[in-house]
Amino acid sequence: MSPSPVAIITHHDYPLSYYADTANPHAVRPALEGQKQVDVCIIGGGYTGLSAALHCAERGFSTALVESKRIGWGASGRNGGQAIPGWRHGARDMVDQFGVERAKALFGLAIEARDHLWDRIARHDIQCDAKRGHFLAAAKKADLDWLADEQECLESVMGYRYTSLLDRAGAAATVASERYHGGLIDKSGGHLHPLNLAIGLADAAEAAGAAVHETTRIQKFEQTRAGIVCESNRGRIIAKYVVVACDSYVEELDAGLAKRIMPVANYNIATEPLEEDLARSLIPGDVAVSDTRFVVNYFRLSPDRRLLFGGGEKYTPTPPDNTVDFVRRHMLKVFPQLAETEVDYAWGGPVSITTSRYPHVGRQGNIFFAHGYSGQGVILASFMGKLIAEAMAGTAERFDLVANLPTRAFPGGRLLRSPLYVAAMLWYALRDRL
């Protein structure tokens, strides 16, 4: 049984954001005390850890999740809320890289991940303002060619019939911006309140029997004869299996795993609530929008008619001097009609990417890990726990399909990888301007 909550709060202890301010009332989970023996210890309370907790508990494993801060404190509580089906690479790229059979198997998993998200939101009655529809907007005219090719591959190879290709007029009817030449709309994607999704998954995991502990940082873990001993700042967990679900924050716990990911700071703003007519005119179908730029602009409307806009990345550790201005200039390029609109919130967080843009997933004995979703974690991270629990229970075929995706360590080692990578990323970002 999970310990009973000790208080109900709305937004304390989270970095200030629109999402923290509009989080559903939720339990503060007690820190770990003393020693506990379980089948599975999960480290990290974002989508990866929460879905692992939910699926492990549903399979009958005794399960404890520990989060160093609060549930959804990391990327899962501050992301753009865009549920974009598929992997970071398109279907055509995957066919070219892996051949038809393997690409179809991987694509099939991504579609299952999409269905899994909508199904779990419905099944656990998670109040996270979930809406359907995602539009990938073509920032350059030339992008329409590969989008047309992508749609052809989606339909003819993958049998995927959820997308429509829009021309310039179609794009203008979808987003009130001069910037887009067309795009691909996927009616099975969508958007949601990310922190409320995390909170809902935590409730579901507890209801399934998992114990959830907040404000408990695992400092180290080691395999012993008695099991894997996880030492925290509070107590200790001895487990048969461990799931490392720390994503961008894994470095302190496991420097080896951290070599495969690079945290890239990404920023968001929320405008003041817009007049109803203005809000409706911006995105009439209320879909999520992201564009084809290397440094992606992504945006959507909130239920209280704010524009939530993400744009601009920083490859150096220092935050922008003024986060509002940093993101707002991207917003005004897309929507100059918002020049007089106030911005009420600005926040940011690290998005972890891999060299290949496929997640880095695997196991070392009884220690499982998954991270580096490269901007696709709303759907994929929420699903990884299912594959991890499945592998733990003895069927690893689907887990292995993902674990075998190629990722390499970032070049340059711990100290050098950042400057080398910054140079490469700046070059790609520059290409957006050409």
Ligand X SMILES: Cc1cc2nc3c(=O)[nH]c(=O)nc-3n(C[C@H](O)[C@H](O)[C@H](O)COP(=O)(O)OP(=O)(O)OC[C@H]3O[C@@H](n4cnc5c(N)ncnc54)[C@H](O)[C@@H]3O)c2cc1C
Per CB under 6 A, residues contacting ligand X are 43-49, 66-69, 73-76, 78-82, 84, 217-218, 245-249, 253, 266, 268, 298, 310, 348-351, 371, 373, 375-378, 381
Compute the least distance from the CB of residue 266 to ligand X, in Å.
4
**Which residue, 81 or 362, has its beta carbon nearer to ligand X?**
81
Residue 317 · residue 263 · CB < 8 Å: no
Bridge partner residues of 266 (DSSP): 313, 349
Compute the least distance from the CB of residue 128 to ligand X, in Å.
13
Residues 6+ apart with CB under 8 A from 395: none
**Which residue, 357 or 398, has its beta carbon nearer to ligand X?**
357
Name the residue with the smallest CB distance to ligand X: 377
Q: Of 308, 312, 314, 313, nearest to 335 (Cα)?
A: 308
Compute the least distance from the CB of residue 84 to ligand X, in Å.
6
Strands (E), 109-182: 131-137, 163-166
How far apart are the C-alpha atoms of 1 and 307, rounded to whole Å? 41
**Which residue, 180 or 373, has its beta carbon nearer to ligand X?**
373
**DSSP code of 355?**
S
**Which residue, 74 or 144, has its beta carbon nearer to ligand X?**
74
**Which residue, 72 or 144, has its beta carbon nearer to ligand X?**
72
Bridge partner residues of 243 (DSSP): 42, 368
Query: How many CB atoms are closer than 10 A to CB 151?
Result: 19
CA 416 to chain centre: 26
**DSSP code of 41?**
E
Q: Of 374, 375, 400, nearest to 387 (Cα)?
A: 400
Q: What's the Cα-to-Cα distance from 340 to each of 197, 279, 308, rounded to whole Å?
A: 32, 14, 16
**Which residue, 163 or 297, has its beta carbon nearer to ligand X?**
297
Compute the least distance from the CB of residue 227 to ligand X, in Å.
18
Q: What is the DSSP string of 241-260?
A: EEEE--GGGGGGT-HHHHTT
**Which residue, 144 or 359, has its beta carbon nearer to ligand X?**
359
Backbone angles phi, psi at 71, to 5 degrees: -55, 130
**Which residue, 245 or 403, has its beta carbon nearer to ligand X?**
245
**Which residue, 64 or 338, has its beta carbon nearer to ligand X?**
64
Tokens of 426: 């700046």
Compute the least distance from the CB of residue 167 to ligand X, in Å.
25
Residue 311 · residue 295 · CB < 8 Å: yes
Residue 313 · residue 295 · CB < 8 Å: yes
In the chain, the amino acid numbered 198 is A
Residue 271 · residue 341 · CB < 8 Å: yes
Compute the least distance from the CB of residue 275 to ligand X, in Å.
26
Residue 64 · residue 42 · CB < 8 Å: yes
Burial class (CB in 10 A: 0-12, 13-18, 19+), 231: middle
Compute the least distance from the CB of residue 156 to ligand X, in Å.
26
Tokens of 314: 């920083």
**Which residue, 155 or 356, has its beta carbon nearer to ligand X?**
356
Compute the least distance from the CB of residue 291 to ligand X, in Å.
12
Compute the least distance from the CB of residue 359 to ligand X, in Å.
8
Our CA angle for 51, 219, 261, nearest 5°, is 60
Compute the least distance from the CB of residue 289 to ligand X, in Å.
11
